[in-house]
Amino acid sequence: MNNKLVFFSAFFFYPVFVLANWCPQWSQPKAVGYLNSDVIDEASGIEVSPLSKQRLFHINDSGDGPHFYTSDLNGNDTKTISIKGFSPVDVEDLTLGPCLDKKSCLFIGDIGDNNKVREDIVVVLIEEKPSFDKEVSPSLTLRLKYPDGPHNAEGIAVHPNGDLYILTKEFDDQAEVAKAASLFRLKKEDISSAGKKIKPLEKVGEFNFPSILGNVDVFGQIVTAFDISADGKTLLVLTYRAILEIKMDLATGIKPVSQWIKNKDYRILPVKILPQQEAITYGSDGKSIFYTTEYHARQGKPVIYEMECLP
């Protein structure tokens, strides 16, 4: 659960940059509901369903079983769905995106590795449906391997072109400093041809978030969650102290952080800091943002915050 923001390195590939239209201004966060902490006590991922726009998906992180959860947008009517044949080590994020046969799938990332000892990580794909039975079978189970050794990670997202991205959480425990987060990709065609083989991830860049988040402490500089907008034109990065929105289409390339201009290439959004915020998502129409936190007894029920795009 430590996170890092984004510093993109220029040497990975040469991009063609496309300026995206983004929300002119986001509202201050407002509480729209609360998670059922009897069920979701370590929220580490949240998504808004494109099929049922009043439905949220959730996951708990390490220590939970092979489950995901649904609720309405206010956190009510919580349901638990079990995943057959899934034995997670440390689930840390989930996302929705296109998958096999042009369906929409829930991607659940068993990608946590605090001690950096895992030889491979796992992402399971669950076809999204209007409703779910109490137990479902994965459409596909991906076993993935980093090209440069183990990483801890808490952010996954799928681009609308079908490519899967993982954003790592890099923290030097001895020096107690945040380091640049690495961005890895698995292309759509490699997802569809995965089978039971371990697939190598491709490193496509780095984000030096500490270089642009110097106004927050070290915990505000490490990535706890990550999302891509439905049009693929903007990124959301959550840390324990901040929310960044980045104007970038990963399909066209990565611009080095050293070249970013504040409020043009990226902006720091208004945030009401939560005890352990590790879950963020765009709404399915891109006109809202939801984020939430793990349960802490002193803070009461985990609140769900929504931010709306203002005209």
Domain boundaries, the chain: 25-310
**pLDDT by residue, tens only, the chain of 311 residues:** 433 333 333 333 323 333 347 999 999 999 999 999 999 999 999 999 998 889 999 999 977 999 999 999 999 999 999 999 999 999 999 999 999 887 899 999 999 999 999 999 999 999 999 999 999 999 999 999 999 999 999 999 999 999 999 999 999 999 999 999 999 999 999 998 888 899 999 999 999 999 999 999 999 999 999 999 999 999 999 999 999 999 999 999 999 999 999 999 999 999 999 999 999 999 999 999 999 999 998 888 999 999 999 99
Rounded to two decimals, what is the model's pTM?
0.92
Report which of 305, 248, 308, 309 is spatially closest to residue 46, judged by C-alpha positions. 305
Spatial distance between the Cα atoms of 287 and 281, rounded to a whole number of angstroms: 11
Domain 25-310 has CATH 3.40.190.10: no
**Residue-wise pLDDT tens digits, 127-181:** 999 999 999 999 999 999 999 999 999 999 999 999 999 999 999 999 999 999 9
Output b/e per residue, 121-159; b: 16+ Cβ within 10 A: bbbbbbbbeeebeeebebbbbbbbebeeebbbbbbbbbb
The full DSSP string for 268-303 is EPP----TTEEEEEE-TTSSEEEEEE--BGGGBSPE
CA dihedral 11, 15, 21, 26 (to 10 degrees): -10
